[in-house]
Amino acid sequence: MSDIEIIEQLKQGNEQAFRKLVESYRKLVVNTCYGLLHNREDAEDVAQDVFIEVYRSVDSFRADAKLSTWLYRIAVNRSLNHIRDNKKHRWFSLFESDVKTENKKLLQVESSLTDQPEFELENKQRAIILHQAIGSLPEKQKVAFSLSKYEDLSYQEIAEVMELSVSSVESLLFRAKKNLQKKLYTCYKKKCM
């Protein structure tokens, strides 16, 4: 069933088409949400909200955009709303709990007898630092960066999802990379890795 057929069937209330939509796009939506929320459970919850919104608002879908673009846009907006609704404090507390979990894992890795424990520990620390740096970016930069690096979308696709011009996306990504470079360089100079 093509995307157009799925949409037409959804407009008629066909539950089979809804199942097909979820099957086809579940991974894309969950990964997009996860790229912004950095918490698997929240990403799953928000993804469910995305599909419910799609089902309820399918009549407003304009065929001038691809279905995947529409889903990305809804997923990004729902994820950002989730962050805002939780006053960003919850996101930071979840991130802190992820960091604590990672630190526990680091201690376990450190104490385990592996061939190269220093290498594994260093990689875990770098991942934590990178997630912290990405999480600290301004909202639009974080969205553009996540869609580019986690979802591997082109500048044109990101522009469609964020409803911006391609040059605006290029600018956001440039600033995001510069900000990350500064944050990571500062961390490197402080020897936090």
| pLDDT per residue as tens digits for the range 55-64 | 999 988 877 7
- What local confidence, expressed as pLDDT, does residue 88 receive? 46
- What local confidence, expressed as pLDDT, does residue 138 receive? 92
Of 3.90.180.10, 1.10.1740.10, 3.40.50.720, 1.20.120.450, which CATH number belongs to 1-85?
1.10.1740.10
- What local confidence, expressed as pLDDT, does residue 91 receive? 41
- What local confidence, expressed as pLDDT, does residue 29 receive? 94
pTM over 0.85? The answer is no
Q: How many CA atoms lie within 13 A of 27 on its CB side?
A: 4
- What local confidence, expressed as pLDDT, does residue 120 receive? 64
Report the C-alpha gap between 133 and 148 in whole angstroms: 16
- What local confidence, expressed as pLDDT, does residue 63 receive? 74
- What local confidence, expressed as pLDDT, does residue 153 receive? 87
Task: Give the domain ranges of the chain.
Answer: 1-85
- What local confidence, expressed as pLDDT, does residue 150 receive? 81
Q: Do 1 and 16 touch, CB atoms closer than 8 A?
A: no
- What local confidence, expressed as pLDDT, does residue 191 receive? 65
Average pLDDT, 10 consecutive residues per value, the chain (193 residues): 88 91 94 88 94 92 84 92 69 51 52 53 74 87 88 89 93 94 81 61
10-43: pLDDT as tens digits: 899 899 999 999 999 999 999 999 888 888 899 9
- What local confidence, expressed as pLDDT, does residue 127 receive? 76
- What local confidence, expressed as pLDDT, does residue 169 receive? 94
- What local confidence, expressed as pLDDT, does residue 108 receive? 53
- What local confidence, expressed as pLDDT, does residue 185 receive? 84
- What local confidence, expressed as pLDDT, does residue 124 receive? 75
